[in-house]
Structure 1
């Protein structure tokens, strides 16, 4: 007579993790003084409506629209070039971070990636503005530094999760390490890497607009200038340009991701 199989051991890891997250959320609400009712007082509503009314109508003069278009192109260029530099740096750092060169380089490079992505873009921009001066160059480098840390970590995880058998098979049959990587491992991870890159490009459009506030050029610098002078119609036009630019990049990114997943 065969024995009944032993019941599987209960895994308490997931319930404990969910419980810890719930406790963290509850503690956050308990420690923060969130006066939500203050947003709905008559004084707050009147002040908000009065402030928003100052943005209408937006500035639609042709010279200003051309200036806004140039700033939008500058913001788009900052995000695209910053993302491209980050992809190159992320790929270079992802190889040792995935453990392909040993355990010691893996830990050291992952520490570098942690530092790069832990420092926000605004802090990178403030540091690089001192070295490079005002303008889009510092903003582009700030986007590249932070995004390289993010993409390097994501690329490294994708490489580690790739199936090792195809590359091992090519190596067994005499292929070199570089050829086996390009023909076996990289094709597995390339769609995922491209998806990560497109997503980070979307984020960098928004970040590039914010970086202009600290003097890194583009739409953000225009927005800061006109808000500081209380030129609300001009600021409204800049905000609309930001929204249109983000919507355009989101649509392009969505179309590219759909094409990659077919």
Structure 2
């Protein structure tokens, strides 16, 4: 006589734990929501929706004049230049800092408080704050944006690079080290080939973030599309603002 398979459970055995986690999240997040003064009802109030609709109508039609499009093309190239140059500077800073901070391919793992501290300072200060500082030092223009991105993103890249190198299997690097290879060689040939895809993917993602950040920094005078957008909004020129927003979305895409 064949054995009858057991009846499947009709209830999720982890349901109680998930429900408890959801309730705990609500209990913890509710005071934060209250502290932020967020009020969805105010956003959906009829009078506020009329004001929002009137503001959005000012964006139509988009500005397509030849003079403005020429100015927009120059600002777009400047934004790309700020993002790319800033990321290149960040990469130059991140590689030695990641090597210094990481325990990858070390014979004896140890803490590196100095390296970790430098990375924390660099990434702990937002790029917008760095931009404000450098605008005061160098004046308006893309130089402030490049330096701000280089420092802030250098800290981010360095931290993540170190963690990626520490997460891949260490056996190849250890084998090279036991054969007499120094740490840079063991890391270069034992760990880097395994981590290359993830390192490249994160670097490209950070480049996209740099494009977005360079636009935001333009509002404090760091050049590019952000500075042009700030001027359009101050002049209440919704058509120009709409064209800038469309250009920015195409740029990120």
Give the TM-score band, short-chain normalised: 0.7 to 0.9
Q: CA deviation at 1:15?
A: 11
Q: 2:157 aligns with which of 151, 157, 170?
A: 151
Q: CA deviation at 1:73?
A: 0.8
Q: How does 1:61-210 map to 2 (within 5 A)?
A: 61-99=65-103, 103=110, 106-210=112-216
Deviation, 1:43, is 0.9
Q: Secondary structure at the match of 1:202?
A: helix
Q: Does 1:28 align with 2:32?
A: yes
TM-score (norm 1): 0.82
TM superposition shift of 1:21:
4.8
Deviates more, 1:160-169 or 1:141-150: 160-169
Alpha-carbon deviations, 1:17-39, whole Å to 9, x = none? 98765543233124333221111
Q: Which residue pairs with 2:42 in the alignment?
A: 38
Unaligned stretches of 5+ in structure 1? 1-13, 248-262
Instruction: Determine the C-alpha separation between the residues in 2 that align with 1:103 and 1:131.
Output: 38
Deviation at 1:179, TM superposition (A): 2.0
SS of 1:59 mapped into structure 2: coil
Kindly report the root-mean-square deviation, in angstroms, between the aligned alpha carbons of the 2 structures: 2.1
SS in 1 for 2:222: coil
* TM-score normalised by L of structure 2: 0.85
Q: Please give the per-residue CA displacement for 1:106-157, whole angstroms capped at 9, x wherever unaligned.
A: 1111111111111111100011112222100110110111111111110111
Extract unaligned runs of 5+ from structure 2. Answer: 1-17
Distance change in 2, residues 1:66/1:131 (3 Å): same
Structure 1 residue 223: Cα displacement: 0.5
Task: Give the whole-Å Cα distance in 1 for the aligned partners of 2:84 and 2:19.
Answer: 42
Q: Higher mean Cα deviation, 70-79 or 164-173?
A: 164-173
In the alignment of these two chains, the number of paired residues is 233
Cα distance change, pair 18–155 in 1 and its aligned pair in 2 (3 A)? farther
Change beyond 3 A, Cα 1:134–1:31: closer
**56, 61, 69: which is aligned to 1:52?**
56
- Report deviation, 1:176: 3.3
From the superposition, tell whether residues 176 and 112 of structure 1 become closer, same or farther in structure 2 (CA, over 3 Å): closer
**Shift of residue 189 of structure 1?**
1.6
CA distance, structure 2, for counterparts of residue 230 and residue 22 of structure 1 = 41
Matches within 5 A, 1:245-260: 245-247=251-253
- Distance in 2 between residues matched to 1:151 and 1:19, nearest whole Å: 36
Inter-partner Cα distance in structure 2 for 1:177 and 1:35: 55
More helix by share: 1
Which residue pairs with 1:229 in the alignment?
Answer: 235
Secondary structure of the residue aligned to 1:103 is coil
Alpha-carbon spacing, 1:110–1:25, altered in 2? closer, same or farther (3 Å)? same
Q: What CA distance in whole angstroms lies between the structure 1 residues aligned with 2:100 and 2:22?
A: 33
Tell me, in whole angstroms, the C-alpha distance in 2 between the residues paired with 1:119 and 1:210: 15
